[in-house]
């Protein structure tokens, strides 16, 4: 199964993704995590990404798409994958479609987690106390990330809806409850 989990920052994509990939034995591809690793390893691309991330902005599409292109050449994606935090705009979604087409496959489903905005801001600021992510700790950066989500990413719901691949899931509840909701969607694909 080839799944995209999407939703605004702080909705719990990463948390749920970690649980799901264990159960379905597919790799978890978080472009945000990849950027943070590239930065930790002091690579040039990591340093460039960090500039954007620290402002709550999107890293330029050509950089992000190239990272994904590279990742999709690994053998472990043969039986599927779970994308977390990618695609984040229409151009990235187009790039993903093209990449998958070149591998003679396609996205199975895009599952959107939905949560109220103020809940997100509070969750992210709280996460910032322990996550070590500077982009979580600053309220204006957090609000900027949410704003960009609504400006650029949320329209992907229509993108995948038009392809009959969109599923919305209520993101309010315990981690376990939300996992069950997500599995109900996935097991029905
Ligand atoms: O997905 P995550 O919240 O970990 O991403 C952290 C940051 O990485 C985003 O706020 C954004 O600055 C950057 N990012 C991006 N494009 C992606 C994924 C992440 O620009 N596709
Ligand atoms: Mg995340």
Please give the full DSSP string across 2-27, using - where no structure is assigned. EEEEE-STTSSHHHHHHHHHHHHT--
d(C-alpha 180, C-alpha 131), whole Å: 25
Are 72 and 100 in contact by the 8 Å Cβ rule? The answer is yes
Please give the share of the chain, as a percent, with pLDDT higher than 90: 97
How far CA 103 is from CA of 62, 84, 189, in Å, comes to 19, 20, 21
pLDDT of amino acid 117: 87
Q: What is the CB-side half-sphere exposure of residue 187 using CA atoms within 13 A?
A: 8
Q: Tell me: the pLDDT tens digits for 8-22?
A: 999 999 999 999 999
Task: Quickly state the pLDDT bin for 88 (edges 50, 70, 90).
Answer: very high
d(C-alpha 174, C-alpha 130), whole Å: 20
Q: What is the mean pLDDT of residues 78-82?
A: 96
Query: Of the listed 2, 13, 36, 181, which one is catalytic?
Result: 13
Closest ligand 1 atom to 148 CA = 10
pLDDT of amino acid 91: 98
Q: Does ligand 1 lie within 6 Å of residue 85's CB atom?
A: yes
Instruction: Give backbone dihedrals phi and psi of 82, rounded to 5 degrees, phi first.
Output: -125, 110
Closest ligand 1 atom to 135 CA = 10
d(C-alpha 32, C-alpha 189), whole Å: 27
* Residue 111 zone, left/alpha/beta (φ > 0; ψ -120 to 50; rest): beta
Within 10 angstroms of residue 60's Cβ, the number of other Cβ atoms is 12
Q: Does ligand 1 lie within 6 Å of residue 17's CB atom?
A: no
Ligand nearest to the CA of 17: 2
13 is catalytic: yes
Q: What is the mean pLDDT of residues 160-182?
A: 97
Query: Of the listed 71, 88, 165, 181, which one is catalytic?
Result: 88
Among residues 47, 53, 96, the alpha carbon closest in space to that of 72 is found at: 96
Q: What is the mean pLDDT of residues 120-147?
A: 94
pLDDT of amino acid 127: 93
Q: What is the mean pLDDT of residues 104-121?
A: 94
Query: Of the listed 2, 36, 71, 127, which one is catalytic?
Result: 127
127 is catalytic: yes
Predicted TM-score (pTM) of this structure: 0.94
């Amino acid at each position: 199964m080839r799944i995209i989990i999407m939703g605004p920052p702080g909705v719990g994509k990463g948390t749920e993704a970690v649980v799901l990939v264990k159960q379905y034995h597919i790799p978890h591809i978080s472009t945000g995590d990849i950027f943070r690793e590239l930065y930790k390893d002091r690579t040039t691309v990591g340093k460039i990404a960090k500039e954007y991330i620290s402002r709550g902005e999107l890293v330029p599409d050509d950089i992000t798409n190239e990272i994904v292109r590279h990742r999709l050449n690994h053998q472990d994606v043969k039986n599927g994958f779970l994308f977390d935090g990618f695609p984040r705009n229409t151009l990235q979604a187009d790039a993903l479609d093209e990449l998958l087409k070149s591998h003679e496959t396609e996205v199975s489903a895009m599952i959107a987690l939905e949560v109220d905005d103020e809940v997100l801001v509070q969750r992210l600021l709280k996460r910032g106390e322990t996550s070590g992510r500077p982009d979580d700790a600053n309220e204006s950066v957090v609000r900027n990330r949410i704003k960009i989500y609504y400006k650029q990413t949320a329209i992907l719901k229509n993108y995948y809806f038009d392809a009959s691949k969109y599923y919305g899931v209520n993101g309010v509840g315990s981690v376990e409850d939300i996992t069950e909701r997500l599995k109900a969607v996935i097991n029905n694909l």
